[in-house]
Structure 1
């Protein structure tokens, strides 16, 4: 791909290749989508920052009950994500489906003001996650279709950095509200609803629609097998099938791509042993004795590191290979688990754990969709992203249920030890499956 082009003589590029090389790595579409995600994440993370403490301390949920609810919180979006990706590809309007998802999530925020028991809270959270599931794949497809093929990691890194800016500001806003208002939880939910509505307005006004399939940005190095109708057939010709229907048969055919199968399998396997953020913060709070009033600030540490390093990590993945960066991120997460389990009670311990947690996200969150985008044809981009994202999210749903049950039965220490052992084994398997000696399954650009 683009790495090979760097060795060509100056001026040798012609036609689409020259335009692809001159295309900006960060387009206005990526910046607009990043702004929408930043605003939406301020809204979402205001709720997420106080939710674990609100449910466990306020509503009295057990770790098992919280694990089930946290699993539903993540699992519902996984189930809907595939639908959102398929719909976006089928109607060829990624902005429309993403907008429906953002709108549904915004409508659910004020409903939290009316839900003060486990059942209603669970229903509202499930609906909110349905909106997230609808929007995730179409949004990521818009990013990949708006960026040059050789700069996908950087584009996703910029988006994730802007998204994480919202993740940084959301908990800070929740912290300030809880400190200033007596009935702080309801105020947090109300302000969150207003911010979410602003994000929908920005999406409608400033995010462009799906780029034309003939654009050079985000193209794959070779046309998919389904488009290879014969020698000399030009995929861009009006006589060729340049805009095939994204039906169920075409979506299922994606699983025949070796690279996509490898990515989906490894993402799911690693997700099965990735403890959810909420549990990490609860473990850190119990391990270090951090006061409840400071709990909403814990996600700030993760978000700050993620914000600083998301773009460099994405650019590094484009240069040295996405496999190396992706697996390094999981190694750093494993180191964080080790500190929570065995490190002495250093005053610096919370900062170390949060730094490693943020490094994990910087090295994986944008790198994985960039790798998927490089393996999937344009007309099925959202579906391919949704396939991998759904598998990963369902695996994390299972991890939340299992970890909550293990915490209830064995205690937090043995539960985290089991998760760490599983993550180590999963990372070894993923390193073998994605090894450079198997180019069809490689994560490199």
Structure 2
């Protein structure tokens, strides 16, 4: 088999490197984030409202920055430098959590960390598309997401073990988080060689009216579908609340995220490969059916065991759809606007997540723990109806 033939069937080393960079940074971030709310409330005396405001401001900051970083990567014709900057900012914030004397420092570190996430997100996703042929995009996004999600469940597990080992010494555990963060930045700097971009494909304003007109109907339909998926799948905080309501002891609540992320990690790559071989529309519909099952289990199962079953199915849905949606963004956006396309997609999805979580909170307060999941299932059904409407060029298949 020739080198060219191998390259069309095998993911390049750069995709694996980006995946392991994501894994290392997620281990670092989740060590801190799995403990931070408790640390803020029990050690620094913050209220639950203040914790919510900090988290909301942090995530909003990340989504807004993604639009501009994606556009800038298109304008420069370069992705790696912005990815290094974003991961570097995230790494530099990690010691601050261990050194912070008060809530103000924690807030500054959290916001700076999310600025870093916003800077790196869209350029990194666009770089994945730059590194592989279109026939391998689903597998590439699935692999990167799988490795990222491995970090998302290793981090909380490591945090639990270290807290038990060191008798709840938060700051000592926060210092451990510094190590994988800087390892990830170093790996990105030395391991990725960015493809050359022809000069003729650079130096246009990617957020001008003329440039945005190149993001056609098919792309914007993907944005709408992504927003509807997110609207049907609210914040993971409600999975934790459902488990607690079902009788799971507080000390074991991180198990909910571990179960979800294991299912997510194990399913993302296989379904990513499958998306390269089958109709995107059909796979999206399958993903929605799986989420409906998860919602119904979570709504009707009152014991925490049923919550874990629902969370497991929820994680499989994530593995089926998240890499696929990224692939669809890459497929429907011109190469010179991929960073901008991912930026706008992430912004709209972020707004949708905020609205979904606010709605879930209202429904929970008004109608009890089961109601948000029943409504989520209804939104899934409506999204399926949209996907079943024939629309040429919108969703493959």
Q: Give the alignment's TM-score, normalised by structure 1.
A: 0.80
Deviates more, 1:273-282 or 1:160-169: 273-282
| CA shift for structure 1 position 73 | 3.1
Tell me if structure 2 keeps the 8 A contact 1:271–1:395: yes
Tell me if structure 2 keeps the 8 A contact 1:152–1:318: yes
Tell me if structure 1 keeps the 8 A contact 2:94–2:175: yes
Within the candidate set 47, 50, 68, 1:61 is matched to: 47
| CA shift for structure 1 position 324 | 2.5
Tell me if structure 2 keeps the 8 A contact 1:82–1:387: yes
| CA shift for structure 1 position 22 | 5.1
CA distance in 1, matches of 2:103, 2:294: 31
Deviates more, 1:184-193 or 1:306-315: 184-193
- Does residue 1:437 correspond to 2:390, yes or no? yes
Q: Specify the alignment match of 2:217 in structure 1.
A: 258
CA distance in 2, matches of 1:281, 1:19: 48
Tell me if structure 2 keeps the 8 A contact 1:263–1:372: yes
Q: Relative to structure 1, is the Cα distance of residues 176 and 117 closer, same or farther in structure 2, using a 3 angstrom cutoff?
A: same
- Does residue 1:378 correspond to 2:335, yes or no? yes
Tell me if structure 2 keeps the 8 A contact 1:37–1:163: yes
- Does residue 1:332 correspond to 2:290, yes or no? yes
- Residues 72-221 of structure 1: pairs in structure 2 closer than 5 A: 72-115=57-100, 118-209=103-194, 211-213=195-197
Within the candidate set 224, 231, 245, 2:204 is matched to: 245
Q: Going by fraction, where is helix more abundant, 1 or 2?
A: 2
Q: Give the alignment's TM-score, normalised by structure 2.
A: 0.89
Total equivalences in the alignment? 393
| CA shift for structure 1 position 412 | 5.1
- Does residue 1:311 correspond to 2:247, yes or no? no
| CA shift for structure 1 position 300 | 1.4
Q: Specify the alignment match of 1:230 in structure 2.
A: none
Q: Relative to structure 1, is the Cα distance of residues 283 and 326 closer, same or farther in structure 2, using a 3 angstrom cutoff?
A: same
CA distance in 1, matches of 2:237, 2:246: 16
Tell me if structure 1 keeps the 8 A contact 2:242–2:307: no
CA distance in 1, matches of 2:360, 2:140: 34
Tell me if structure 1 keeps the 8 A contact 2:267–2:316: yes
- Does residue 1:417 correspond to 2:371, yes or no? yes
1:357-376 C-alpha deviation (Å, 9 max, x unpaired): 21121012211110111111
Within the candidate set 35, 41, 65, 1:50 is matched to: 35
| CA shift for structure 1 position 267 | 1.5
Within the candidate set 309, 320, 324, 1:363 is matched to: 320
Larger radius of gyration: 1
SS at match of 2:177: helix
CA distance in 2, matches of 1:22, 1:156: 16
- Does residue 1:289 correspond to 2:247, yes or no? yes
Question: Which structure 1 residue ranges, 5 or more long, are not aligned?
Answer: 1-17, 215-237
Question: Which structure 2 residue ranges, 5 or more long, are not aligned?
Answer: none
Deviates more, 1:319-328 or 1:387-396: 319-328
- Does residue 1:71 correspond to 2:56, yes or no? yes
- Residues 400-415 of structure 1: pairs in structure 2 closer than 5 A: 400-404=357-361, 407=364, 409-410=365-366, 413=369
- Does residue 1:279 correspond to 2:265, yes or no? no
| CA shift for structure 1 position 296 | 2.8
SS at match of 2:34: helix
SS at match of 1:248: coil
Tell me if structure 1 keeps the 8 A contact 2:206–2:337: no
Q: Relative to structure 1, is the Cα distance of residues 25 and 439 closer, same or farther in structure 2, using a 3 angstrom cutoff?
A: farther
CA distance in 2, matches of 1:213, 1:433: 37
